[in-house]
Amino acid sequence: MDLSAFPYLQGNYAPIDEERDFDESQLRIEGEIPKNLVGAFMRDGANVAFQPNHYVYPLDGDGMVHAVYFRDGHVEYKNRWVQTSHLMTERKFGRTIYGSVGKLLEVPQEVIDAGGEPNPIRNTANTNVVYHGEKLLALWEGGFPHLLNNDLSTVGLYDYDGALKPGDALTAHPKICPDTGDLISWTQRWDSPNYWVQVFDAKGRHKQTMEVEFPRKGIIHDLQITENYVVIFYAPTYHSVEKAMKGEDPFVWEGDLGTRIIAIPRDGSGNNIVFETESFFSWHFCNGFEAGGKIVIDYVWINSIPFTQAQGTGVEKQPRRMYRMTLDLATRQVTNEQFSDIFCEFSRVDERRMGKDYRLGYATCSNREWGDAHGYNCTGSFDFQSGETALWEYGEEANAGEPVHVPNPDSEREEDGWLMCYVHNPGEGPFLSILRAGDVAAGPVAKIHIPGRVPNGFHANWMQNLTL
């Protein structure tokens, strides 16, 4: 493939074309792997299989999951494409057929006649991989999830036993309530601007739907739960399918409209509380909780829409900072303060503290200017009690992925767990980093070196007790 026209398909953003299996004898282990871990660390990401017609970072590219499995101090690795209908159709024809989120292409009639996927909107299944209700799901914002087996083989589209209807798009960034085991997600439809909060119980059964009416379809990736609310940010950024079909830039930022924060009661009462503030955009929450009649939200702030169809604009390199927002439920007042000046993204928390008061948040971070070939070279921790931050730098040219908190099964303390993330460091190669959650600055307690490149990706999770 000639990827020279696409900055975010070069360096360690470039795809790989192999599915690989490495047992422990083929992995080089540096340090000591925690012996009480049983489960799998998995991360999804974009991995184009054929020469793209068009590409918008970070919204395009075929999904590929990379997994490291743990049991009794032993590990093994595998990676697999998510076998979507779009990818399988392109493999049948041996070429790219579908466009991008920013430039939709009409599907050739010959493809449709041959039984290929007729939908021009590619379900990439490239954004996240979650384990809930004993089901492993690869997620993308614009369609159904894909059900996977534990070995990453693809079963197919999953509609939650009919709870999702044709045209529904399930978010790639749900939250799991640590008290109920409920997975709180949301759907939008391509033919409606509205937003539906979807709740699935601990066994993965559909439990509840709550509709939120929007005047226009907003670009919303994440949500946050607290004890009594689901919180979303409705920024003035929009996507036009009509413009995408014409090859025009479909991403719109209307900063003069301001950003709305909507608190949706989890009990389904429907009495949504709306807060108004100046315009900003956010991909990711860190955590949120309620205290003293207020909702506290920690999240990664961005000034405006961080992507466009046009390449080389620099909008994707806007500074991202950790912010703390306080929402007064009585007065509707919004307080929004920068917590740290560290450039960060992909914020995470100990999932056992999700929606609760907590101490430590984590993110992938940078201690130097973000370049085209590499974004974040550090893992960072944010102590919301002391106000302190800590970084571990993997190397000036390294790229560190989303850090996932892995609980210590023998402790309830946040700081007693570990952080895992994939790292690519030129000269050292790819590895899975394992740090102490309470002492990030001390560096990795272990590195699992992988004898094959692991491209930069998106969201990762720890799958407790999932094994081969």
Q: Which residue bears the tokens 């992925």? A: 401
Instruction: Report the topology of domain 7-464.
Output: Neuraminidase (2.120.10)
Q: What is the mean pLDDT of residues 141-155?
A: 97
Higher pLDDT, 268 or 8: 268
- State both tokens at 440: 């990030």
Q: What is the mean pLDDT of residues 307-328?
A: 86
In the predicted structure, residue 372 carries a pLDDT above the cut 60: no
Instruction: Report which secondary-structure segment, H or E, holds 91.
Output: helix 85-93
What is the reported pLDDT for 308? 78
Residues 6+ apart with CB under 8 A from 179: none
pLDDT digits (tens, 9 = 90+) for 165-195: 999 999 999 999 999 999 999 999 888 999 9
Share of the chain above pLDDT 90, in %: 85
In the predicted structure, residue 228 carries a pLDDT above the cut 60: yes
Instruction: Report which secondary-structure segment, H or E, holds 325.
Output: strand 320-328
In the predicted structure, residue 373 carries a pLDDT above the cut 60: no
pLDDT digits (tens, 9 = 90+) for 26-57: 999 999 999 999 999 999 999 999 999 888 87
With beta carbons less than 8 A apart as the criterion, state whether 417 and 411 touch: yes
Among 69-78, 96-105, 288-297, 358-367, where is mean pLDDT lowest? 96-105
pLDDT band with cut points at 50, 70 and 90 for residue 374: low
- DSSP 8-state class, residue 100: B
In the predicted structure, residue 250 carries a pLDDT above the cut 90: no
Question: Mapping DSSP to helix (H, G, I), strand (E, B) and coil, where does residue 109 land?
Answer: helix
In the predicted structure, residue 369 carries a pLDDT above the cut 80: no
Residues 6+ apart with CB under 8 A from 38: 70, 71, 72, 409, 464, 465, 467
In the predicted structure, residue 398 carries a pLDDT above the cut 70: yes
Q: What is the mean pLDDT of residues 351-373?
A: 89
In the predicted structure, residue 221 carries a pLDDT above the cut 60: yes
Task: In whole angstroms, give the CA distance from residue 419 to residue 404.
Answer: 5
- DSSP 8-state class, residue 49: S
What is the reported pLDDT for 452? 95
* Cα-Cα-Cα-Cα dihedral sign, residues 27, 30, 34, 35: positive
Q: What angle is formed at CA 47 by the lines to CA 164 and CA 350, rounded to 5 degrees?
A: 65
Q: What is the mean pLDDT of residues 417-424?
A: 98
Question: Mapping DSSP to helix (H, G, I), strand (E, B) and coil, where does residue 301 land?
Answer: strand
What is the reported pLDDT for 159? 97
Residues 6+ apart with CB under 8 A from 256: 236, 279
pTM for this entry: 0.97
pLDDT band with cut points at 50, 70 and 90 for residue 388: very high
What is the reported pLDDT for 247? 78
* Domain residue ranges of the chain, discontinuous segments joined by +: 7-464
What is the reported pLDDT for 88? 98
Q: What is the mean pLDDT of residues 16-21?
A: 97
Q: What is the mean pLDDT of residues 317-330?
A: 95
Question: Mapping DSSP to helix (H, G, I), strand (E, B) and coil, where does residue 431 land?
Answer: strand
pLDDT band with cut points at 50, 70 and 90 for residue 249: confident
Among 6-15, 193-202, 445-454, where is mean pLDDT lowest? 6-15
Q: What is the mean pLDDT of residues 93-103?
A: 92
Name the average pLDDT for the chain.
Answer: 95
Q: Which residue bears the tokens 């033919």? A: 191
Instruction: Report which secondary-structure segment, H or E, holds 355.
Output: none
List the beta strands (DSSP E) in 378-458.
Answer: 378-383, 389-393, 399-400, 404-406, 418-425, 429-436, 446-449
In the predicted structure, residue 246 carries a pLDDT above the cut 90: no
What is the reported pLDDT for 35? 94
pLDDT band with cut points at 50, 70 and 90 for residue 457: very high
Among 3-7, 264-268, 300-304, 451-455, where is mean pLDDT lowest? 3-7
